[in-house]
Amino acid sequence: MKSHYRAVIIGGGVVGASVLYHLAKFGWKDVCLIERKILTAGSSWHAAGGFHALNADPNIASLQAYTIDLLSEIEKESGQSVGMHMTGGMTLAGTPDRWEWLQSAYRTFQSIGIDDVRLITAREAGELNPLISTHGILGGMWADREGYVDTTGTVHAYAGAAKKYGAEVIENNRVLELIQTKDGWDVVTEQGTIHTGHVVNAAGLWAKQVGRMAGIELPVSPLNHHYLISDTVPELETLDFEVPLTVDLEGFTYTRQDQKGLLMGIYETDHDHWMMDGAPWEYGFELQQEDTDRIERELILGYERYPALQNVGIKTWVNGAFTFAPDGNPLVGPVRGKPGYWCACGVMAGFLQGGGVGKSLAEWMIHGEPEADVFGMDVARFGDYAQNKRFIKETTGQFYTRRFVMTYPNEQLSAGRPLKKSGAYSDMSAAGCQWGASWGLEVPLYFAPSSDFKETPTLKRSNAHEIVAVECKAVREAVGLLDISGFSRFEVSGAGAEVWLDRIMASRLPKPGRAKLAPMLSPEGKLKGDLTVFNWGDGTWWIMGSYYLREWHMRWFQGQMGEDATLRDIGDATVGFSLSGPNSCKVLEKLTDGPIADLPFMGCGTFDIGMIRARVGRLSVAGELGYEVHCSAAEHITLRETLLAAGADLGIREIGFNALLSLRLEKSFGIWNAEFTQGYTAAETGMDRWIDWGKDFTGKAAALAERDSNGPDRIVVTLEVDATDADASGFEPVWQDGALVGFVTSGGYGHTVGKSLAMAMLDRAATAVGTELSVHVVGAECAARVIAPSPYDPEGLAMRGRP
């Protein structure tokens, strides 16, 4: 062991070994992995080792596909067998909704380029796996590249290949302490102290303790997970092929062949947390006693689906812990305020996702950002609120319990809620508000007409469809009131504020008393934000964006900070309401003697609104005359009461974000994590229209190169879809004469224009207005066509005109 390394990975499981391999392969040779016992001594050794295609996040599904391709490569590079059994795999559906969901998922795979999947009938499923009973099965999805590996062999293959590239593996050496220094970290181990520029927490069951060594409280918790291995199954002895990996979603089980027996794993609804503060240091190759009483219901379902198990015994029980994050996805990336500290933990499906995690993190460390959009596993997707132990327990437990439970896009889950509430939460609840959650904050979805209204979970249009239509009508014809506490707000001040903002924002900065839309780019020219910058004219500036990106943006801002500029996150201290609609100015005129009617489009200033001194900006995501009124959190209740009273004779109506989704689609306004992501460029998304090419800004060279090379190969357009009872939502494939030409970025129903609308990223050749296309919506193919942007008020007269 040397005293200095460029990077030190803590943890010798599949994820740590993958990170080591990718760092070394990509050029960082002077790296080491430190393991407190021996490789695999944690969760890796007892994992079932299955790999499959399905994931609710298409970006993570793509990284899983990368991992599957990588397994045979590391076997060749290392000379170590990974014990790959490419059996193929199938996911079964036993309810109509689940079958529709699988058909939709199949189309999503097509849209992201995974073409080795197909839908199968119940009869085909029985032929592919003769051990199953097809009773109750409506259909399934087959994937060619599914199967399982030898878990120990795979970890050693990653490590062995890494060592051939020059990396080092140090076993039987526990990390005792981490000390942050001016230029990196001192890693204090049982064998001595190592100085390094980068530390990677890939500690698995011990990730919590390794986080605390650096003063970080990671939102992870281990939960116990059961699987059994049966004695020899006679039916398997008669087959001349290996049965495929099989997931029975309604039965909460997955299976694969294990020699001539069957391995059956269970995701039970009665979950069991284990050692929430991290595993004991001496733990490694132990297991917990099986708890058959707790998993009895799922065991019975499993034995009914696989009748052959009823006639054989159980050879082995495995009840071991895996680490979960609140949403089940990994925690990957740099930690704000801890330069050189990286996370690669919470990877509950390490043999499926470990390759993609290792690749993305190595790219991040070496090049500054990963090739793929990995926000779905970025550690910055959570904030301080997620450090609470009860929150972690509720949310990780909910994820585990619902691992195989049908989830609907309009379904609101209860774990960890309600947590953060805006001031007017109780009053809005009394008025019928139905709530969603964004980054721990309750946000309004719509206002139900009666206290006994319940929204029905569905993949199609819900029974709240007409409620949202009424809210949209109020905005278009009168005035809608929306709680906008769920936006992020950053205050920038100081002598260097303008210089710093001018460098990180690609747009021209607004003049005093004005606001401006501002794309923010990475050095590689990818989007880092679709933001709004306010110049209040008193030396202070605001940056507004998506509430759930607060930690992500703060990490970026702090990494780019200039001299003499001060940045504050005021997102909890400052809240507000927006008014949208032709009567919005009339409401405010009742409440202020200031020249509110003279405020120009994209203007901003300070006004007395009733008894509240408020910051007001004239802008609208709804495409109508609109104002955002900002106040302190303590004034939120009063502001709502004041605005509702003033608008009582002007048709004011409270609305939620479901209405705003419809209204913004009618204007072809994109949103983050749909039309705008860190995987797209400004030119692809149309955000380049705001770029000031005459100044220097972060990412200019890359953006210029794209502009001057005939532009992007694909761009975002608006589609009209001939859908009837469902609307596109995202990642549905778009076809032209049977050829895949793109995918939907987001969609919904335009209540004003009376059409199903979608925005989509398409090949440029397919983007001309009038181009006939088709889109799969909840698995059904619907005719579609490219339409001109902004199907409602294309000239923007309502939004920009005089009040």
Exposed e or buried b per residue across 202-214, where buried means at least 16 C-beta atoms within 10 angstroms of its C-beta: bbbbbbbbbbebb
Strand partners, 118: 142
CA gap 290, 186 in Å, rounded: 41
Distance, C-alpha 783 to centroid of its chain? 29
Quote the tokens at residue 50. 């299955």
Query: pLDDT tens digit string along 465-519?
Result: 999 999 999 999 999 999 999 999 999 999 999 999 999 999 999 999 999 999 9
pLDDT band of residue 68 (cuts 50, 70, 90) is very high
Strand partners, 785: 720, 772
pLDDT value of residue 112: 85
Q: Which of 323, 318, 275, 312 is nearest to 295 (CA)?
A: 318
Answer yes or no: are the C-beta atoms of 757 and 782 closer than 8 Å: no
pLDDT value of residue 517: 97
Which ranges in the chain are annotated with CATH 3.50.50.60?
A: 4-375
User: Which CATH number among 2.40.30.110, 3.40.50.150, 3.30.1490.20, 3.40.50.10860 corresponds to the domain 713-793?
Assistant: 2.40.30.110
Query: pLDDT tens digit string along 392-418?
Result: 999 999 999 999 999 899 999 999 999
* Residues contacting residue 433 through CB under 8 Å, at least 6 positions apart: 444, 445, 446, 447, 448, 654, 656
Strand partners, 781: 776
pLDDT value of residue 62: 84
Tell me the whole-structure pTM to 2 decimals: 0.96
The answer on pLDDT for 54 being more than 80 is no
Mean pLDDT within 76-95: 97
pLDDT value of residue 113: 85
If phi > 0 it is left, if psi is from -120 to 50 it is alpha, else beta; for residue 705 that is: alpha
The answer on pLDDT for 56 being more than 80 is no
pLDDT band of residue 53 (cuts 50, 70, 90) is confident
The answer on pLDDT for 237 being more than 80 is yes
Answer yes or no: are the C-beta atoms of 719 and 784 closer than 8 Å: yes
- What is the torsional sign of CA 431, 435, 441, 443? negative
pLDDT value of residue 58: 80
**Residue 39 or residue 60, greater confidence:** 39
- Beta-strand ranges (E) seen in 259-313 are 261-266
The answer on pLDDT for 563 being more than 90 is no
Which ranges in the chain are annotated with CATH 2.40.30.110?
A: 713-793
pLDDT value of residue 648: 98
Residue with tokens 């409602």: 792
Query: pLDDT tens digit string along 789-799?
Result: 999 999 999 99
Spell out the alpha helix ranges (H) of 372-485: 389-401, 425-430, 465-477
Exposed e or buried b per residue across 294-329, where buried means at least 16 C-beta atoms within 10 angstroms of its C-beta: bbeebbebbbebbebbeebeeeeebbbbbbbbbbbb
**Residue 649 or residue 65, greater confidence:** 649
The answer on pLDDT for 196 being more than 80 is yes
pLDDT value of residue 114: 86
Query: pLDDT tens digit string along 748-765?
Result: 999 999 999 999 999 999
Query: pLDDT tens digit string along 201-229?
Result: 999 999 999 999 999 999 999 999 999 99
First and final C-alpha spacing in the chain: 72
Q: How many residues does the chain have?
A: 803
CA gap 607, 595 in Å, rounded: 9
- What is the torsional sign of CA 29, 34, 37, 40? negative
CA gap 626, 243 in Å, rounded: 61
User: Which CATH number among 3.30.9.10, 3.50.50.60, 3.30.565.10, 3.40.50.1100 corresponds to the domain 4-375?
Assistant: 3.50.50.60
Helix (H, G, I), strand (E, B) or coil at 153: helix
pLDDT value of residue 60: 82
The answer on pLDDT for 260 being more than 90 is yes
The answer on pLDDT for 292 being more than 90 is yes
Query: pLDDT tens digit string along 600-648?
Result: 999 999 999 999 999 999 999 999 999 999 999 999 999 999 999 999 9
CA gap 345, 104 in Å, rounded: 30
Residue with tokens 């129903």: 749
pLDDT band of residue 710 (cuts 50, 70, 90) is confident
The answer on pLDDT for 716 being more than 90 is yes
The answer on pLDDT for 57 being more than 80 is no
Query: pLDDT tens digit string along 416-456?
Result: 999 999 999 999 999 999 999 999 999 999 999 998 999 99
CA gap 472, 482 in Å, rounded: 12
Spell out the alpha helix ranges (H) of 254-404: 296-305, 350-367, 389-401
